[in-house]
Structure 1
Amino acid sequence: MALKEKDEVKKVVLFLKEIGIEVIEKELGETFLPGLELGPDCIYIDYNKLLYPGDILHEAGHLAVTVPAERKLVGTAEISKDWPTQGDEIAAILWSYAALHHLEFPAEFVFHPNGYRDSSEWFISNFESENYMGLPLLEWIGLCLGNEKAEKENKSPFPAMQKWLRD
């Protein structure tokens, strides 16, 4: 079965479209992550080169945590040379954990053994222990609530998200 036809991939693509991230199928050359490239408000996917479908969620996380004005510049010469920052990277990792939780996928879907500089198990262990490094940042940008604020506001805490895209 072609990767594009797999249920998990279809579910990811549908989810991204529902939250406002466009997914465009496109033939790609060499990219940092095989078969994936970010563009203005979108993700380009080359299904013939894509190795790990969970990487789609991580890349979507980069778009999701970026302010809209910069999101429109991703993949162009106008985007800051510092993008994504280290904070953006941490936020994108945590966002992708929330997304896989929302989609009811196992953590290994995103945090596969061939990614995250051999730290996949470390991320999974931390997240499953509810040690959400970067949570104050995701909370500050308005995407989710930590336990304390969620309880005060009678809302669901992270990994539930209040919204998926940064304003």
Structure 2
Amino acid sequence: MANLDQIKQILEFLSEINLPYQVTQFEEDTFLPGVRHNKGVLEISIEKVQYSGDILHEAGHYAVCEPTERQFLDGNIYKTGLQHQRAKQQMMGEEMAATAWSVAAAIHLGFSLQVVFHEAGFRGASESLITAFENGGGIGHPLLGAYQMTCPKRGFPHMSAWIRTLSWA
């Protein structure tokens, strides 16, 4: 079971930044336990969440998604969420940007990077990702700059906007 205090902090943060989420209960298994996408809303079944950082990462998908595409985030977004080809190509970059966004959010909330990069995630690359981000590297943060989300003067992980408003469409 995930850390309930962290989940509470995360949900307060998501409310503050107006990210669309709903606490609900569902029984079916999901790609990440306790977290699913439902037509542009991040649904969270707190009792099923195993890692609080999974909520941050999936919230990152909403935050960095092309604004006109957010409504289409549904199900397992890697397989069914965004159907047309242009959006599928965007998803590759947005996965990296969502990772960087979740790092910035974790730092903002005062969490260690182990919350996002827990031992069960990122296909065994958690430690190398932690090291990269702690040393000023990591993936996806240049896209946050391109989306005009990072603070221009201070750069990543400092954010000037938590939700992407810049559309390339």
- The bucket for the TM-score relative to the shorter chain is 0.7 to 0.9
Name the Cα RMSD after superposition: 2.1
Q: What is the Cα deviation at residue 42 of structure 1?
A: 2.2
Provide the aligned length of Structure 1 versus Structure 2.
157
Q: Does residue 111 in structure 1 map to residue 117 in structure 2?
A: yes
Q: What is the Cα deviation at residue 37 of structure 1?
A: 0.3
1:3/1:55 Cα in 2 relative to 1: closer, same or farther (>3 Å)?
A: closer
Q: What is the Cα deviation at residue 3 of structure 1?
A: 5.4
- The corresponding residue for 2:97 is 91
Q: Does residue 79 in structure 1 map to residue 77 in structure 2?
A: no
1:81-102 Cα offsets, whole Å, 9 max, x none, are 5276211111000010000010
TM-score by length of 1: 0.85
Task: Work out the CA distance in 2 between the residues paired with 1:20 and 1:27.
Answer: 21
Task: Work out the CA distance in 2 between the residues paired with 1:110 and 1:84.
Answer: 22
Structure with the greater alpha carbon radius of gyration: 1
- The corresponding residue for 2:24 is 26
Identity %: 38
1:23-70 Cα offsets, whole Å, 9 max, x none, are 212222121001100123421111221111110000000111102211
Asked if structure 2 preserves the Cα contact closer than 8 Å seen for 1:66 and 1:166, the reply is yes
Gaps spanning 5+ residues in structure 2: where? none
Asked if structure 1 preserves the Cα contact closer than 8 Å seen for 2:40 and 2:74, the reply is no
TM-score by length of 2: 0.84
